[in-house]
Structure 1
Amino acid sequence: MPSATMLRSLLALLSLAAAATVALGQAAPPVKPTPAPVIIQPRFVVPDASQPLSLQRVDVQTVLAGSQAQTRIELVVHNPNARVLEATLEFPLADGQGVAGFALDINGELVSAVPVPKDKGRQVFDDVTRQRVDPALLERTAGNSFKLRIYPLPAGGERRVLLQLTETLHADAKGLWHWRLPLDFGQPIVRFDGRIALRGATGKPQALGALDGAEHFANADEAGLQIQRQNWRPHGALVVGWKAGAADSSVVQAFAGSAYGYAELTVDTARGAPKPPRELNLVWDASGSGAQRDHAREFALLDALFAAARDVRVQLTVARDAAEPAATFDVKAGDWSVLRKRLETVPYDGATSAAAWGAGFGPARDGALTLLFSDGLANWPDITAAPTGPLAPVFALTAAARIDSARLRRLAETQGGRLVDLNRLDTPAALDALIRPALRLADVRADGAEQVVTASQQPEDGRLLIAARLTAPTATLQLTLVDAQGRRVPRTLTFTAPPAAKNPADEDAAVPLAARRWAELRSAELEADRPRHRAEIRRLGEQFRLVGPETSLIVLDNLADYIRYEIVPPTAAMRAAYQQRVGQRDAERGQARERQLDSLVRRFAERQAWWEREFPKDAPPPPVAAVPPPLAMVRPTTAAMAAGIVAEDVGRFPDARVAESMQRIPGVPAPVAAPAPPPAGNQLESVVVAGMRSAAPAKPAPAEASSATIALRRWEPDAAYARRLREAGDADRYAIYLDERIGYTSSTAFFIDAAEIFFTKGQQALALRVLSNLAEMELENRHILRILAYRLTQAGELKLAIPLLERVRELAPDEPQSHRDLALALAQAGQPQRAVDLLWDVAARPWDGRFAEIDLIALTELNAIAARTPGVDLGRVDARLRRNLPLDLRAVLAWDADNTDIDLWVTDPNGEKAFYGHRLTRQGGAMSRDFTGGYGPEEFSLRKAKPGRYEVRAQFYGHRQQLVSPYTTLMLWLATGYGTPGQKDERVVLRLSGRGDQVLVGTFDVAAPAGGDAK
């Protein structure tokens, strides 16, 4: 929470920004009318609540000066439910808005958040919530969308949250600056207090929205506006307008040992004569999110453009996960009705590929122009080549509330165009931006400054926003502008660093207006090529507290959590203790890695002993008496699961010694009765089935090996939509899918089921489009992305699956499954070296106790890949761990939901079940340790298989999720001849709907070796 000193410093800076000028002598230009903006209101998402949360208090404090706004929002949220909840506040911000910080109440005091790498923030939040303590995490998902996760919301209790926002504002045709704050939370606010202070304004502020009468702002004066309400339900946004000065403004500030300058320069906005296009490349983003754009604004602009152009040839490219073939339309005398009808009937479906946009960019020719209508939220792997050669100027047009303006702006400006925001510009102004050239920034030369950045090469609202980091006490920027007639216009800007503070800490006490604006503009510039600049974007986020693609803000409960996760705490007192403790962590990490390697060597030796052991293959002995009570299997209670006991088999067996014996695969445990299967007619929602062979060429198996085949159970979901899709003809199926999808836009089950039917019917391109909707459903949800990649892998679309798995690994590097999933896909794609390296990282690195024995599974897979692809470098792998252990049969089960317990069961020809409570069968079938904390994998291994049928089942045992998914999606991998040249693989994606569900997934049928016997 900002101190009084910080607030005074903020007011001083903002006053300076409004009043200080650089002698550039330009008058304020007129600006076009601004249409009402598209605004998405903030909302609390609490899926597990039986009653909605209530807002007890909303307190807003805003300081407005010039084009800058600083807003402090305090929320008090009440949970009326009888259980503890996790809540997520989702809110998009407009272009130019940002999050400067937030705080959460801990023991009655607001504790400020600290910056943290984004992947680490998610990991820490998830880990801490498992301990039932108080974290909060603020992160940006994609584009301008943000979410704030808060836990816990106590049953019948309250939490207090503080948000700090910054904004660069825009003026309208009357010279009014507009500040907007969405307030419609979908429920009344018990108490609302608003205080809006103005600096450098002319006349009284005007309340323009949300307030329904002049009496509500009778307290307004030249200094600001005060609003108080009780049991108030505002509609839309609170909008305040005021008249501000039109002079140039600049501010220089010292922050963190460096000086930064930020200026807003008024420029000539005169435009040249109209130059309507004669050729138009129209790229129409028809992905699922495209349906949320304001198409009325888009069509109004096209109406005006074709009226001005009259006769123009249009190449239309409809882009989603892939680009459709271009269609040609000839517009005559401004009549574009045929093209308009085509656009009005375009279905919005599938993910968004930036490469698909590029397919519609046309070559540079006189009179040619490219228009891209999109929100910029690209979320699909770009696997097609980018267009080459000189291209026609590209103008990116957006009329959506959720946008990635940085991506669209850089894309357009690098191709000689600009971003046209239809949310801010009316149709005449937007048309002028397209066809009438205007002044633009062509070049900047700096003396005494570096890393000069601008918000845009084209002025917005008659202002050019520019910032730089100073390297000398006085910095001079020589700007070269090109006006509408193509003439070069020089401008000079001077920044003078402030005197050094007597106490360096005072430099950082003030709100860093100039420094923050430089960091925001620099980060936006780097995001245009994020893969190359991730580290610098992260450093900027951490230093300047920017919530962006690489940095989040987090609040933790106590010092111990900050030390445990090596996150610098917010207060000086905590930082001193933190520095003392954190120095010991490097030595502790080295020791942990040594212990992990020693443990792995020991367990791998036990696995080799199991593999070398001969197990009987004859018929089992007659049944024995019932299992004595001490050996009876006991599943943990829900209370035990909540206490974290479920991660160990000890919690399932009253006799701890029996449980301990069952952990060792080489020793055969006493027979344990398997749980009875559920009655016929399981409640499995669907099983998606499609076979896929190994990427490596199959070779004949050794003569002495058993011949085994895999059969996967085919499942046809009986939902009404699935029946309609199966029964439809190929020509009608997609139309029926579009008819059904309206009711299932948030259902992963629907898209997986529908895609499977398209795959089965041989409609591959449509199947991929349907499946790609999963990437649009919830931004940066690693669970959804993981299962999407599983299904693409199953379909043989490795070029699409691998980038998604790379993204999952970025989002969750602390989960070993993220590395393993990517490694296995790379191995299938013919990249064995990187696959082996990733699997070694999984095997050698100490992981959280929830992931016990995934290291041994990864080591098995590493050795199998190396054995099948000679020449792989195993130099990193400990020599004691380099041995391939081929298997006749192998089954591996993984799933998409954290804190979920799924069980793998395999029944052999003897009728004996291998499962979590009976981990070694008479004939040597070995089951890995039970994964009860999420994702798996669970593995069944059998070196020498007895002839006969082996049935593979999956069972949903239970979950401990705070946010409960209605089902869990699984991926089962069945292999024969594993680790041999003749390895064959089949994969299946399936879904279980709830606790107790069980399904027969597939079978192994093993034939006796030719000329041999069954032993």
Structure 2
Amino acid sequence: MKHYAYSRLNLILILFTLLSLASCKEALSQVPVLKIATEGNEQSVRLESLHTQVRISGNIASTVMTMTFRNSSNRILEGELTFPLPEGVSVSRYALDINGKMREAVPVEKAKATEVFEDVEHRRVDPGLLEKVEGNNFRTRIYPLPAGGTRKVLIAYEQELRFTAQKTLTYRLPLNYKTSIPSFSLKVTVFESSQKPELSEQPDGSFSFNSKGNTYIAEMTRKDYNSKHSLVLNLPKGNDVTESLMQQAGDSYYFLSNIFMDAPSRPHAWSKNIGLIWDVSLSGLQRDHEKELDLLDAFIRKRKNLTIELGLLNHEFKAAGIYTIKNGDWTMLREKLTKLVYDGGTDYSSIHAKALNADEYLFFTDGLSGFGENKVPLGKPVYTICSAVRADFSQLNRISQQSGAKFINLVQLSAKEALEQLENDELQLIGVKKGAGISELYPGLPAPVRGNLSISGISASADADLVLQFGFGKQVWTERKLNLHALKQDAGMIDVSRIWAQKKLSAMDLDYEKNKAEITSLGQQFGIVTRNTSLLVLENLEDYIRYDIQPPAELKKEYDLFKKEKRTSFQEQKKDLMPGAFSMAAELKTWWSKVFKPGKVFPKPNRIMEGDPSARADMAAAAPVASVQNVVIRGASSAPRTARYESEARSSQSLSEVVVTRKDQLSGKVSGLQVLSSRGARDNRPEIVIPEFKSDKDYIKKLKGDPDQVYEQYLGLRKDYQTTPSFYLDMANWFYQHKDAQRGLMILSNLTELELENAEIYKSLAYKLKQTGNYQKELFISRKIMEWRPMEAQSYRDYALALADCGSYQAALDTLYGVLNKNYNAQISNRDRGIEEIILSEINNLVRLHGAKLNSSKIDKKLLFDLAVEVRVVLNWNKNDTDIDLWVTDPNQEKCFYSNKSTAAGGRISADVTRGYGPEQFMIKKAVRGKYKIEVNYYGDSQLSISGPTTVMAEIYTHYGTAAQQRKIITLQLSNGQNGGVLIGEFSF
């Protein structure tokens, strides 16, 4: 029996801070909002203090926000603070209070930082992690938020201010909070400004600037402050002005030059045949459609007569009509766009020219392609247009630049400004005549000049010149000389080196795969959060030593002393799974070779004396309770008989569909039952019977009518469950049940739109894709999980099995063997104890079934052996820190489970996984004749999650490792407290 207890509650605090620095006024409503998901939905955490400092020098603004959160509950919580930042902005500083003092974070490679954070978190210590997730979105994970206590978080970022049509630099800070903040302060300092900053919007009437020479300062401090307005600051700049900053670094200098100039433009010669690609995925609901339509209206009225071919994109791409526009009248197209339904995931790779053949394309989207590769294979100019705050600006830039077009940031621009960018080809920086010692200039060429241009590089001396060449195409229009030697003042208040690094990172991110290693190195060197670099805070010196992470300055002296003494007692030792694999191989060979001869057990009939109510009650109490429907079971004669199983309500259970290794193996389905194969006179293969699992959620009970009617009902219900993963799983399940696989897949793909880089949600999706036979999508999703979670054996195993599903058997074999060779930390190794048995089974299955086509020479021969079995059941689940048990009861009524690991008939079950994702496996070489029952027991969990109930996937094989191998896959969702076996299948030999 299991005796451990779960001390952490299944709670998570979600703190979404939308720090929009966009120029559009609508975005100003997006300010820090606290939300908490608990069993009682109580608001137990609030923002107790917010102190913000802003420093502006030239066109660079540095913002430092210090936030204190109070947890008024009596429970320890884990926090997530997720926020998007504008194009080109990245977090550069993060700190967390440790023992009452702010501890600065240090840059760590992203996968390692995640691994260390979770390892430390399991020891109930105080780690903090800030990471970049898909797009320009950032997430910090904080543990713990102490019961009745507070945690303080500091986040800082630098940004280049945008030059507006009014010839001003504009800085914006959202401050219009819905609730009051007990302690609030704001200080803004503008250095070396020739004019007093203008406040077009301010928190209250008292906020104003005072001058100290050329420096302007405004500040305020309030108690119980509830601001109704945001801060909007304008800095006037004249034409033909150049501002530069230099920062010494050893014998070299980082420099940043900001050039303001009247830049001419020339009209763009648009084609008369335009392709309009409209992203109608679920995330499209977050775009500013009114602003998009305003831009489209202005564009069409300007063009007057043209043909627009419309394509709609979500998890697939569809042509949606050809519209002939005359005299700027696009009424029919506009009506079509205003009535679109936004649903499904996003797959950019599904776009193709055959469905939409145009000369140039306008693509309205957010840059996030979670259900397919982020590539647009059109071969024509694609103008990407984004009005969403949560977006991947780098991808949108890359798509447009590679196609010879441009990216239009409709978050920052008005519709009028955006039209000007579409209508005109801007002057560009097309060349640089470098002076001696000038290197590493960014941005890369060509770079558009839209009123101003910011350029940064490294100079070998403080006295250097360079000449910038501007023009159109390859033709130089004008030149501008920069005299860096005349600007010897040190930047002082602005870290110019970090601005330079951000510019270099932005340039490299346009070709991420090629520059991945350099992006990681640069992010770590300059402490900037990138796709590959996170910022990590650890509580004590021992943890920095254990994981070989350079600590912040306050601990550096002690750390260096420890390293000098070459002490290794604290250092984390990693190891691979090979020793366990060799040991397990020997154990499996012994088990497989053993002959089991169980005694025959005859069934005992129920003998009930007529009129004896107590006997009837005893019989009723002994009846099975896990099935939720009438099921039809075929006997040897193929004549159906009905058996009613008493119902036990199971929340959030989802139906499985038949998935077999060959299509011809499916020969029958009946209501409430799925049969893997039908026995004929010459077919002695076993049949697998699955109860029909249905969700007991209220929204499922409300569904009535045919699939078309139910889809409309789903859209109406979705408003209340838009961010709930189990809702999409349940609804997709309904459509799969009712033979509408197209809608089922679309609704299922919504899981990629809910939360950025959530491996738990993606695992649930991968299970359902495997179950429904969407193997290419399963492969894509599994690869994403492997990229996010490379520290875990399960990530590689799931990817390998997806490769096998797609027929890539050699790659699957190599990946599986690689699982055994990879090094894992002690916590993960202990958690996943016994996974070697499952990996060995799958390696030998591939070799046995496809050996003639495989090269297995790299695999140690001791690990290759015959492991064909008549029955194999594998249980997987999507969440860490979760204990789920596999039970298999044989015809002799002996149950094989964690406390009875081997049966008299020869059944064996793998190690009991109590803290990880599984898997657990049951095998029997020679199955005794009769009925087998497969059950799942949800023992409990100790993890914090926003991804809903745990998704369980069971794979049931018969004749595993032989030509007659058959597979049945089922998935269901289980919640904590659902212990007691849930029947997931039966089969008879």
| Smaller-chain TM-score bracket | 0.7 to 0.9
Match among 908, 917, 920 for residue 935 of structure 1: 917
1:861 equivalent in alignment to 2:842: yes
When structure 1 is superposed on structure 2, of 935-944 and 371-380 the one drifting more is: 371-380
Deviation by residue 1:629-672 (Cα, 9 ceiling, x = unmatched): xxxxxxxxxxxxxxxxxxxxxxxxxxxxxxxxxxxxxxxxxxxx
- Once the 2 structures are TM-superposed, how far is the Cα of residue 773 of structure 1 from its aligned partner? 0.5
Aligned to 2:688: 710
- The letter for the 1-side match of 2:372 is P
CA contact (8 A) 1:706 1:947 kept: no
CA contact (8 A) 1:283 1:360 kept: no
Aligned to 1:155: 147
Match among 65, 77, 81 for residue 85 of structure 1: 77
What is the identity percentage for the equivalent residue pairs of Structure 1 and Structure 2? 31
Aligned to 2:245: 251
**Secondary structure, counterpart of 1:297 in structure 2:** helix
**In structure 2, do the counterparts of structure 1 residues 698 and 265 end up closer, same or farther at CA, with 3 Å as the change threshold?**
same
Query: What are the residue-to-residue correspondences of 1:530-549 with 2, within 5 Å?
Result: 530-549=512-531
**Secondary structure, counterpart of 2:753 in structure 1:** helix
CA contact (8 A) 2:104 2:537 kept: yes
Aligned to 2:854: 872
Match among 409, 425, 444 for residue 397 of structure 2: 409
- The letter for the 1-side match of 2:416 is P
Aligned to 1:909: 891
Match among 927, 930, 953 for residue 948 of structure 1: 930
**In structure 2, do the counterparts of structure 1 residues 35 and 309 end up closer, same or farther at CA, with 3 Å as the change threshold?**
farther
- Once the 2 structures are TM-superposed, how far is the Cα of residue 920 of structure 1 from its aligned partner? 1.0
Aligned to 2:622: none
CA distance in 1 between counterparts of 2:318 and 2:362 reads 16
CA distance in 2 between counterparts of 1:498 and 1:429 reads 34
- Once the 2 structures are TM-superposed, how far is the Cα of residue 186 of structure 1 from its aligned partner? 4.6
When structure 1 is superposed on structure 2, of 804-813 and 561-570 the one drifting more is: 561-570
- Once the 2 structures are TM-superposed, how far is the Cα of residue 466 of structure 1 from its aligned partner? 2.4
1:924 equivalent in alignment to 2:906: yes
- The letter for the 2-side match of 1:576 is D
Aligned to 1:229: 222
- Once the 2 structures are TM-superposed, how far is the Cα of residue 332 of structure 1 from its aligned partner? 1.2
Match among 381, 384, 395 for residue 396 of structure 1: 384
1:811 equivalent in alignment to 2:821: no
CA contact (8 A) 2:275 2:361 kept: yes
CA contact (8 A) 1:201 1:245 kept: no
CA contact (8 A) 1:37 1:424 kept: no
CA contact (8 A) 1:326 1:360 kept: no
- Once the 2 structures are TM-superposed, how far is the Cα of residue 252 of structure 1 from its aligned partner? 3.8
Match among 464, 470, 476 for residue 481 of structure 1: 470
When structure 1 is superposed on structure 2, of 558-567 and 41-50 the one drifting more is: 41-50
Aligned to 1:9: none
CA contact (8 A) 2:426 2:450 kept: no
When structure 1 is superposed on structure 2, of 870-879 and 563-572 the one drifting more is: 870-879
Aligned to 1:782: 759
Match among 121, 134, 152 for residue 129 of structure 1: 121
1:308 equivalent in alignment to 2:302: yes
Aligned to 1:673: none
CA distance in 1 between counterparts of 2:662 and 2:810 reads 15
Aligned to 2:717: 740
Query: What are the residue-to-residue correspondences of 1:208-219 with 2, within 5 Å?
Result: 208-209=200-201, 211-212=203-204, 214-217=205-208
CA contact (8 A) 1:91 1:147 kept: yes
Deviation by residue 1:146-167 (Cα, 9 ceiling, x = unmatched): 1211111111112222222211
Aligned to 1:722: 700
Aligned to 2:596: 615
**Secondary structure, counterpart of 2:595 in structure 1:** coil
CA distance in 2 between counterparts of 1:361 and 1:559 reads 59
CA contact (8 A) 2:28 2:230 kept: no
CA contact (8 A) 2:78 2:144 kept: yes
In structure 2, the gaps of 5 or more residues are 1-21, 605-644, 667-676
Deviation by residue 1:737-788 (Cα, 9 ceiling, x = unmatched): 3222222211212211222233344433322221111001010000111111
- The letter for the 2-side match of 1:381 is G
CA distance in 2 between counterparts of 1:534 and 1:585 reads 33
Match among 812, 828, 835 for residue 812 of structure 2: 835
Aligned to 2:501: 519
- Once the 2 structures are TM-superposed, how far is the Cα of residue 218 of structure 1 from its aligned partner? 7.6
- The letter for the 2-side match of 1:293 is R
Aligned to 2:18: none
CA distance in 2 between counterparts of 1:285 and 1:973 reads 36
Deviation by residue 1:434-460 (Cα, 9 ceiling, x = unmatched): 113331233456564444332884545
**In structure 2, do the counterparts of structure 1 residues 248 and 208 end up closer, same or farther at CA, with 3 Å as the change threshold?**
same
**In structure 2, do the counterparts of structure 1 residues 747 and 34 end up closer, same or farther at CA, with 3 Å as the change threshold?**
closer
Q: What TM-score comes out, normalization by structure 2 length?
A: 0.85
Deviation by residue 1:26-74 (Cα, 9 ceiling, x = unmatched): xxxxxx9975545632334543474332333222122112211112222
CA distance in 1 between counterparts of 2:841 and 2:557 reads 48
CA distance in 1 between counterparts of 2:153 and 2:368 reads 29
1:267 equivalent in alignment to 2:261: yes
Aligned to 2:727: 750
- The letter for the 1-side match of 2:729 is I
- The letter for the 1-side match of 2:747 is V
- The letter for the 1-side match of 2:923 is S
Aligned to 1:644: none
When structure 1 is superposed on structure 2, of 338-347 and 978-987 the one drifting more is: 978-987
CA distance in 2 between counterparts of 1:868 and 1:498 reads 72
Aligned to 2:37: 47
Aligned to 1:672: none
CA contact (8 A) 1:955 1:998 kept: yes
**Secondary structure, counterpart of 1:329 in structure 2:** strand
Q: What TM-score comes out, normalization by structure 1 length?
A: 0.83
CA distance in 2 between counterparts of 1:101 and 1:888 reads 58
**Secondary structure, counterpart of 2:140 in structure 1:** strand
Aligned to 2:625: none
CA RMSD of aligned residues (A): 3.4
CA contact (8 A) 1:71 1:164 kept: yes
Match among 582, 585, 594 for residue 604 of structure 1: 585
Aligned to 2:332: 338
CA contact (8 A) 2:46 2:71 kept: yes
CA contact (8 A) 1:189 1:231 kept: yes
1:766 equivalent in alignment to 2:728: no
- Once the 2 structures are TM-superposed, how far is the Cα of residue 941 of structure 1 from its aligned partner? 0.9
CA distance in 2 between counterparts of 1:521 and 1:998 reads 57
Deviation by residue 1:881-917 (Cα, 9 ceiling, x = unmatched): 2213111101111111111111111111011111111
**Secondary structure, counterpart of 1:414 in structure 2:** helix
When structure 1 is superposed on structure 2, of 912-921 and 414-423 the one drifting more is: 414-423
- The letter for the 2-side match of 1:64 is I
Match among 57, 61, 66 for residue 58 of structure 2: 66
CA distance in 1 between counterparts of 2:251 and 2:969 reads 56
Aligned to 1:685: 652
CA distance in 1 between counterparts of 2:328 and 2:841 reads 67
CA distance in 2 between counterparts of 1:920 and 1:498 reads 80
Deviation by residue 1:116-167 (Cα, 9 ceiling, x = unmatched): 1112222211111111111011112222221211111111112222222211
CA distance in 1 between counterparts of 2:780 and 2:458 reads 35
**Secondary structure, counterpart of 1:420 in structure 2:** strand
Aligned to 2:102: 110
CA contact (8 A) 2:52 2:64 kept: yes
CA contact (8 A) 2:105 2:537 kept: yes
CA contact (8 A) 1:317 1:360 kept: no
When structure 1 is superposed on structure 2, of 244-253 and 323-332 the one drifting more is: 244-253
CA contact (8 A) 2:238 2:260 kept: no
CA contact (8 A) 1:562 1:578 kept: no
CA distance in 2 between counterparts of 1:100 and 1:142 reads 17
Deviation by residue 1:316-357 (Cα, 9 ceiling, x = unmatched): 111112211242001111111110010001111111222245
CA contact (8 A) 1:220 1:226 kept: no
- The letter for the 1-side match of 2:370 is N
- The letter for the 2-side match of 1:309 is R
Aligned to 1:653: none
CA contact (8 A) 1:141 1:779 kept: yes
- The letter for the 1-side match of 2:398 is R
When structure 1 is superposed on structure 2, of 320-329 and 173-182 the one drifting more is: 173-182
